[in-house]
Structure 1
C-alpha cells in the first residue's frame, strides 16, 4: 500500500513571522478525556491515529502490556486534549510538532483534526500560504525523487497513480501556494498523527472531506513549528503541552515556556515542578499546571476542561 505522496525539495528555513521556535500561546483547548469502547478490528495504533493521541500513552494509561491485544467491548481511557494556538485571523493553522490542524472561521475555532506532516528528513515547510485549488480524485504524479526512493527500496517504480484505492492522495486534495505542497486524504488511515510524509499534510479521509467543504480558494493559512504550548484559560487554569522537537528547530522547552509565562504575566500561577515533568515526558497532550493557591476557591483542579468546539472531528 502506498503511503507517501508529496515532495519537498529541501527543509524550509524558519519563517520570519515567528512560525518556528519558542512556545505558542493559547486560550482554549480542544479534545477531551473520555472512555472509548473497543470495536472489532481496533488496534492501539488505529485508535491513537483517529483521536490524535499516542498509542504508547493509551497503553500506559490503561496498563496494557506490549503483547496484550484488545478485545471488543474493552473500555479504554483516552486523553486527547490539545492547546489551540492563538490565531492571527481566520483560516487554517497547522502546528507540525503537535500534528494538529485547526480551522478558524468568524474569529472562532470551528474544527480541529489530527494530521501527519513531513518526516524529519523530508520536512514540511513553514510559513504563510493560501489555498490555490481544490480537487477531487486527483491523479498522483510521482516526483522523480520519490521514484528514486522507490528504486532504492526495491519497490516497483511508479510515475503516475490513478484515482482509486491505491492512490495515496485519497479522494480530496487542497492545494497550497507552497510549491508541491497540499493537504490531502490517504489510503492508509492508521498513518495519521505522525511525522512520516514527504512534506504534505495528510488527513483521515473523513476529516479531509469535512475540511474540503469548509475551505475555498483564496483562504489563508499558516504552518508553524511549536513543540511547546502554554494556555491560560478564562477560568484561571493554566495548561502546558510539549511534543518532541523532531526537526531540531527549537531550544529548551522549559526556557521557552518560562519566557512566555512571564510575558503573559502568569509565571507565579504555574507549578514549574509539574512543567518539568511534562517537558521530560513530552507525551503531546495538554496537562494542567495551575498552582492550587492560584485558583479561585470555586474552581477545583479536577474539573474537566470545557471544550467550546466539541471533541476532535470524528
Structure 2
C-alpha cells in the first residue's frame, strides 16, 4: 500500500536510550518539524504475541492492532515482517507539560528543555468510565501507593483497599490530578496499555511510569484533549494522522474530516484530497504524507 511506502521514508530523528529490549526515547521538534520518530521493522519469532512486540518497541496494543486489524493477537504468523509505527504527529495543544490525546491513547511530555518531547502509550477509561477531558495540574506524587477503592467498585473487588504489591492496579507510582480522583499511574496488567480498560485513570507500562515519574514535578500542567485528526509537517511535507473515535463523540466522522481538511493549518491547496480521505478511511494512526505532488 502507498502509505507504507510513505512511512518507509521516515528516519528516527531522536535521542534513544535502550533499556533492555524496551526503548525510552526523547525526540526533537520545532515549529516546522512537528512529526517525530520513525519506522522500524520486526520479524515475528515463535512464542511472541502482538502485545509482546508492542511493548518491546514502547508501543501500546492499539498501535499495532490498528495497522494489522486482522492479525491474531496471540498467534501472529512466525516469520512475518511487521512494520512498527514508532512515529507521530504532535497534537495541536500547547506544548507544555503533559498532553494526553484520548483517541490515540498516547501521552506527550514536554520537559523544561525547549524543543524536546517524550511520548508514551497509555491505557484509558473504558466506556462508561471515560477519562475526563480538560486542563489539570499534577497535585500529588506517591510511590508504592495504596488503592482506596471507590464505594462503587468495592463490590467488584470484595474489599475497600488494596495495599502496595503485585495485586495493586496502580503499580509502583501515581501522579494525582489535582482536584480529581484521577491519576497517571503504573499498572500490574501491562496488556491493558493501548486499550480502554480503566475506570478513568491513565495507565502506563511500569518501565514508562518509572521514567516519567522521575521527571514530572508537582504543579506540572496536564491537558487532556480529544483530537482524532492531527496535522503536522516535516521537511516541508504535510502529514495527517487519523485515529478512531474511541469514545463515539463524533456523529458524522466524514463531516468532521471535511471540516478538519478545511481548517488545515498549511492550506487546503497543498493537500492531496484522495490521500487525505484514504487516511480518514483507514484510521490506523500512522502519519500519512498527503502533500500534493508527493515526489518533488
TM range (shorter): 0.7 to 0.9
The CA distance in 2 between the partners of 1:74 and 1:66, in whole Å, is 13
Q: State TM-score, norm by structure 1.
A: 0.74
1:92 aligns with 2:84: no
Which of the pair has the greater relative contact order for Cα pairs under 8 Å at 6+ separation?
Answer: 1
Contact 1:243 1:282 in 2 (8 A): yes
- Residue 54 of structure 1 is aligned with which of 63, 72, 89? 63
Per-residue deviation at 1:56?
3.2
Contact 2:146 2:163 in 1 (8 A): yes
Moved runs in structure 1, 4+ residues, more than 6 A?
Answer: none
Contact 1:30 1:112 in 2 (8 A): no
Partner in structure 1 of residue 152 of structure 2:
145
Unaligned runs of 5+ in 1: 1-24, 151-155, 298-314
Contact 1:103 1:110 in 2 (8 A): yes
The CA distance in 2 between the partners of 1:191 and 1:66, in whole Å, is 13
The CA distance in 2 between the partners of 1:39 and 1:80, in whole Å, is 20
Contact 1:175 1:183 in 2 (8 A): yes
Q: Deviations over 1:186-210 (max 9, x none)?
A: 0111110122211011000000110
Partner in structure 2 of residue 307 of structure 1:
none
The CA distance in 1 between the partners of 2:36 and 2:266, in whole Å, is 23
Alignment of 1:76-225 (within 5 A): 76-105=82-111, 106-148=113-155, 150=156, 156-225=157-226
Contact 1:26 1:83 in 2 (8 A): no
Partner in structure 1 of residue 237 of structure 2:
237
Contact 1:42 1:70 in 2 (8 A): no
Aligned residues: 259
Per-residue deviation at 1:88?
2.0
The CA distance in 2 between the partners of 1:222 and 1:26, in whole Å, is 23
Cα RMSD of the aligned pairs, angstroms, is: 2.5
Residues 268 and 183 of structure 1, relative CA distance in 2, 3 Å threshold? same
Partner in structure 2 of residue 31 of structure 1:
37
Residues 37 and 136 of structure 1, relative CA distance in 2, 3 Å threshold? farther
Q: Name the stretch that deviates more: 124-133 or 106-115.
A: 106-115
Q: State TM-score, norm by structure 2.
A: 0.79
Q: Secondary structure, in 3 states, of the residue corresponding to 1:179?
A: coil
Q: Deviations over 1:182-238 (max 9, x none)?
A: 0000011111012221101100000011000110111112111111111133x2211
